[in-house]
Structure 1
Amino acid sequence: MACRVSFLKTLLIILNVLLSLIGVTLIALSVYELNSSTPGTFEHIAIVIQIFVGSFVILTSFLGCFATARVSLGLVWTYVICLLILLCLQIYIIAAAHSTNYVERSRSEFLALWSDPRTNVERLSLIEQKYSCCGQVGAHDYILLGRGIPTNCYRNFDRQQDNLFTEGCLAAVQAHANDNVAIGLVIKWLLLVVEFAALGAATHLGITVRNKLRRERF
């Protein structure tokens, strides 16, 4: 019995450390993306949700470590409930991620901006500097519009031909969205697996401790 409890405690601590690391990674990536996302867009909302999930994961992992160290039955079951909430949320997020075409959304959002480049000049400038791109398909798009190529189409805003971004922003935005989807799904599935493992270990620990207390009582 003592060996089983010790094993479960060690396993839970390891799993909770993993959970906290994944949560920190999720928040760090989300904050990085948040700084360059446009408020009100679908991408911005998704990033905010990811930050919330990452924060909840970290808090839950801290609770798990504390419950494991104390071997408190009440704390263990509270931790199990938090994990169940996380799992439900995580399953919903993964299902939504698989059913949502983020690449198409990013394409539509960029085309909406490019439809009125004069009004959206600041947002387009941010995109061009962030993704090192220029125009919709390339720098010549500005020439077709009867405008000069803006400085934000150049690396470090230096108007040298060698510094001109040659890639179009439409392709760059879609490629970035595709990469984000791939990385996001890997993190989400990894988090789901660790949460399931932690749930199993915590439930087993809770049952073991409960049975031990019952035997001691009688």
Structure 2
Amino acid sequence: MSLILLKRLVLFLSALLQVLGLILIGYGILLLYTGNTYSGGLVIIIGFVIMIMAIFGFKAVMSGAPIRILVYVVAVVLLILTQVVFLVIVSHGIKDGISGIISDGFERLWEVERNKSGALAYYENWLHCCGVNSSEDYWIIHHAIPSSCCLDNKCVDQSSVYKAGCKAAFTEYFDDKFLVFKIVCWLLVIGEAVGAVLCCLLYSNLKNET
């Protein structure tokens, strides 16, 4: 593989890693918004570290200095190991933590709903759900099913009432978002591994030229 082609491939991967790092930062902000401060902060930090590493790799390749490229390879290998450990440990922690937050949040909303109708209306309209667990929640507290529980806000009959509870609907929504996080993380690991191999080849070629 030619030296010019190697440089172009590494530069392309560096740009791609910067984009994925930005996506990871965005996901971390989402975690902060949902109340998971610790996990959200960690994800944002990793996103920033990845972006900084990608920029450093870009500059190292542009400089053509073998020692800088070697330092970048070592740093990337350490970063990959850190990410794999983080992904294995935190993936379960984030999901379990968020599940608890979702459950507590909807239980608090339901307490409000008992005293003042409309507390769940936003989620019912957004997620096409009804009550915390199902529409039967309203029958239990002797409240009429609100229009937000029905298709087009029109409760014509039982068939027009949304079947899913809002807690389950929101959990499913978050699971989809969590899947994006895992995909981005594994893409980062794969991209970094490929980049490290290419940088090793680049380092070898540059050393042979000197």
Report how far residue 197 of structure 1 moved: 0.6
Q: Which of 167, 191, 194 pairs up with 1:194?
A: 191
Match of 2:8 in 1: 10
Q: Which moved more, 1:160-169 or 1:60-69?
A: 160-169
Partner amino acid, structure 2, of 1:137: N
Change (3 A) 1:113 1:142: farther
- Conservation of the 8 A alpha-carbon contact between 2:27 and 2:43: no
Decide which of 100, 106, 123 is 1:108's aligned counterpart: 100
Shift in CA distance, 167/187, structure 1 to aligned 2, threshold 3 Å: same
Deviation at 1:175, TM superposition (A): 1.0
Identity of aligned residues (%): 20
Q: Which whole-Å CA distance do the structure 1 matches of 2:28 and 2:91 have between them?
A: 19
Q: 1:216 matched to which residue of 2?
A: none
What secondary structure does 1:118 align onto?
Answer: helix
Unaligned runs of 5+ in 1: 214-218
Does 2:12 align with 1:56?
no
Relative to 1, partners in 2 of residues 1:19 and 1:132: Cα closer, same or farther, differing over 3 Å?
A: same
For 1:41-80, what aligned pairs fall within 5 Å after superposition? 41=36, 44-80=37-73
Q: CA deviation at 1:174?
A: 2.4
Cα distance, 1:160–1:80 mapped onto 2, change above 3 Å: same
For structure 1, which segment, 171-180 or 135-144, has the greater mean C-alpha deviation from structure 2 after superposition? 135-144
Match of 2:170 among 168, 173, 187: 173
Q: After TM superposition, give the deviation of residue 86 of structure 1 in Å.
A: 1.8
Residues 79-90 of structure 1: pairs in structure 2 closer than 5 A: 79-90=72-83
Once the 2 structures are TM-superposed, how far is the Cα of residue 26 of structure 1 from its aligned partner? 2.4
Q: 1:94 aligns with which of 79, 87, 103?
A: 87
TM, length-normalised to structure 2 = 0.73
Between the two proteins, the alignment pairs up a number of residues equal to 203
Query: Quick one: structure 1 residues 13 and 101, their matched pair in 2 at CA, closer, same or farther if it must change by over 3 Å?
Result: closer
1:18-57 → structure 2 map (5 Å cutoff): 18-31=16-29, 33-34=30-31, 37-39=33-35, 41=36, 44-57=37-50
Q: Is the 8 A contact 2:17 2:50 kept in 1?
A: yes
Q: Distance in 1 between matches of 2:190 and 2:138?
A: 48
Is 1:144 the counterpart of 2:136? The answer is no
Are the aligned partners of 2:25 and 2:44 in contact in 1 as well (CA < 8 Å)? yes
AA aligned opposite 2:76:
L
1:118-165 deviation per Cα after TM superposition (whole angstroms, max 9, x unaligned): 3799x977765764544212344245235576898789xx97648986
Aligned partner of 1:12: which letter?
Answer: V
Deviation of 1:68 (Å)? 0.8
Distance 1:48 1:91 in 2: 17
Q: Distance in 2 between matches of 1:130 and 1:76?
A: 49
Distance 2:127 2:72 in 1: 41
How many Å apart are 1:212 and its aligned residue? 3.0
Q: TM-score, normalised by structure 1?
A: 0.71
